[in-house]
């Protein structure tokens, strides 16, 4: 919603002119934090409550702790974060806009989430952990490390040095929090839905470790051609290229695990998840490409990058999150479920996302070329208008898609999700857990 307001303000800049808290910059702050912490983090936590007991074979640490985490996250992080940012108390740091006081609570909540979800995994013994478990452990542990690094440190470091750390966080937020959680969902939902184990546990673990080794080394690619030492820039550029290779390994494994399900799987959860996998490989290869100096020179600072981040956060992460939620809803007899709305949500999100990415990518190329041509600056603004108008309308489709998703998960008959569940597997059991065990003996 904040994104939609910001998009409309770019084409109708006097919108909300007399309301200070609706200033474009503040709305933009609220938008990024809302998507990452408000939507994705909440969706991930919800999915963990479904997945962790299955993966560990025992309940999460404490139901009361769960209430606390929920309350902390939504009433002490999101609500005050939004209010403070709109009121003008914020940090001018991308993906870290909530002020320090909120950061403290967020780290506390993340620590509690680690206590809530992680102990079961360690009791089970790490040699028998399924890859989703690894991603969940990795995501929660590394976010605990990177969140304070990215949200607190740059607030106190000057100029170029602060930007270097900021760059790390911009990538760690995606790479060490959003990506692991989303991949945990993909690796969970795909075998559960197809009824077959993942294609290769070896590839899945290889991908896992490569991702965690390479992701943190990517951050400086946000400041190519800057005064930050060239060696650091080059390290990040090389790591970005290697990351692209790794993602191809991961996605190949995921797609091979899905074979037979068709291009448009019947199971809506698998459909969301498969589409998310597709966007994941596209956005990652795009990321590797745009980190290269020759490409970065033109597309950096343009809408191309905005398209890229939308594909990452909406295309990959949100489709994974939606798939995870639908999957969980299919297995809760008390959950309301509206199949029509879910179908609508899927198609509106696909159309909206593809439309926005194509639109802004072209817009970004136009901007980059105009800047290089030496044309007057305002020409790039005038030329962008058509893409911004399109984006604002496409944004409405996306927002409608999210509303449909909300409707799909909150209306309809209770337990209706159970009926759109994929048929039990050939062995007659619908137990998810056995399919998620790693094939230790396969080694």
Q: Which of 23, 80, 148, 415 binds another protein (CB under 8 A)?
A: 23
With binding defined as CB under 8 A, does residue 101 bind another protein? Answer: no
Residue 14 to residue 23: CA distance in whole angstroms: 10
With binding defined as CB under 8 A, does residue 122 bind another protein? Answer: no
User: Considering only 66-74, 185-193, 218-226, 333-341, which stretch makes contact with another protein by CB under 8 A?
Assistant: 218-226
Q: For 364-367, which contacts have Cβ atoms below 8 Å and span 24 or more sequence positions?
A: 364/299, 364/302, 364/303, 364/304, 364/305, 364/306, 364/307, 365/298, 365/299, 365/302, 365/304, 367/302, 367/303, 367/304
Q: Are 296 and 221 in contact (CB under 8 A)?
A: yes
Which residue, 188 or 223, has its beta carbon nearer to another protein? Answer: 223
Residue 404 to residue 389: CA distance in whole angstroms: 23
With binding defined as CB under 8 A, does residue 360 bind another protein? Answer: no
Closest to 304 in 3D by CA, of 221, 383, 358, 360:
360
Which residue, 31 or 327, has its beta carbon nearer to another protein? Answer: 31
With binding defined as CB under 8 A, does residue 228 bind another protein? Answer: yes
Per-residue binding string, another protein, 26-45, x by CB under 8 A, is x-xx----------------
Secondary structure element (H or E) that encloses residue 377, with its range: helix 377-410
Which residues, 6+ apart, have CB-to-CB distance to 175 below 8 Å?
211, 215, 216, 218
Number of residues that bind another protein (CB under 8 A): 90
Per-residue binding string, another protein, 137-156, x by CB under 8 A, is -x---x--xx--x---xxxx
Q: Which of 58, 71, 128, 266 binds another protein (CB under 8 A)?
A: 128
With binding defined as CB under 8 A, does residue 366 bind another protein? Answer: no
Q: Which of 377, 423, 427, 428 binds another protein (CB under 8 A)?
A: 377
Closest to 309 in 3D by CA, of 171, 131, 146:
171
Closest to 394 in 3D by CA, of 361, 418, 430, 432:
361
Closest to 318 in 3D by CA, of 285, 350, 286:
350
Distance from the Cα of residue 273 to its chain's centroid: 12
With binding defined as CB under 8 A, does residue 427 bind another protein? Answer: no
Smallest distance from another protein to CB 391, Å? 13
Which residue, 90 or 284, has its beta carbon nearer to another protein? Answer: 90
Which residue, 72 or 390, has its beta carbon nearer to another protein? Answer: 390
Smallest distance from another protein to CB 349, Å? 24
With binding defined as CB under 8 A, does residue 416 bind another protein? Answer: no
Continuous H helices in 221-267: 230-258
Residues 229-268 that bind another protein (CB under 8 A): 229-230, 232, 235-236
With binding defined as CB under 8 A, does residue 334 bind another protein? Answer: no
């Amino acid at each position: 919603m904040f994104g939609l307001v910001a998009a409309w303000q770019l084409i109708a800049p006097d919108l909300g002119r007399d309301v200070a808290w609706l200033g474009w910059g503040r709305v933009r702050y609220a938008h990024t934090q809302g998507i990452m912490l408000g939507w994705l983090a909440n969706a991930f936590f919800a999915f963990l409550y479904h997945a962790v007991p299955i993966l560990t074979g025992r309940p999460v640490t404490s139901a009361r702790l769960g209430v606390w985490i929920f309350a902390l996250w939504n009433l002490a992080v999101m609500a005050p974060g939004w209010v403070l940012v709109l009121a003008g108390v914020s940090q001018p740091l991308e993906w870290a806009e909530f002020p320090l006081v909120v950061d403290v609570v967020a780290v506390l909540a993340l620590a509690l989430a680690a206590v809530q979800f992680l102990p079961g995994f360690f009791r089970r013994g790490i040699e028998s952990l399924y890859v989703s478990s690894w991603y969940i452990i990795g995501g929660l542990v590394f976010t605990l490390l990177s969140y304070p690094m990215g949200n607190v440190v740059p607030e106190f470091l000057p100029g170029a040095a602060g930007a270097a750390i900021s760059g790390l966080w911009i990538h760690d937020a995606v790479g060490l929090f959003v990506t692991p959680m989303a991949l945990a969902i993909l690796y969970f939902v795909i075998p559960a839905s197809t009824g077959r184990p993942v294609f290769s546990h070896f590839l899945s673990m290889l991908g896992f470790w490569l991702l965690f080794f390479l992701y943190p080394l990517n951050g400086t690619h946000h400041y190519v051609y800057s005064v930050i030492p060239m060696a650091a820039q080059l390290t990040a550029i090389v790591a970005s290229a290697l990351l692209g290779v790794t993602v191809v390994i991961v996605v190949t494994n995921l797609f091979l695990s899905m074979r037979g399900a068709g291009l448009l799987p019947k199971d809506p959860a698998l459909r969301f998840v498969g589409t998310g996998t597709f966007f994941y490989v596209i956005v990652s290869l795009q990321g590797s490409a745009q980190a290269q100096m020759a490409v970065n020179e033109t597309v950096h600072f343009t809408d191309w990058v905005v398209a890229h981040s939308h594909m990452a956060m909406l295309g990959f992460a949100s489709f994974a999150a939606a798939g995870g939620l639908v999957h969980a809803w299919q297995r809760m007899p008390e959950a309301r479920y509206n199949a029509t709305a879910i179908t609508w949500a899927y198609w509106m999100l696909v159309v909206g996302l593809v439309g926005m990415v194509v639109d802004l990518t072209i817009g970004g190329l136009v901007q980059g070329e105009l800047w290089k041509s030496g044309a007057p600056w305002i020409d790039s603004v005038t030329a962008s208008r058509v893409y911004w108008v399109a984006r604002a309308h496409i944004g409405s489709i996306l927002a409608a898609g999210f509303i449909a998703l909300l409707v799909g998960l909150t209306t309809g008959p209770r337990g209706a999700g159970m009926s759109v569940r994929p048929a039990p597997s050939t062995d007659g059991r619908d137990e998810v857990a056995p399919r998620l065990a790693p094939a230790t003996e396969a080694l």
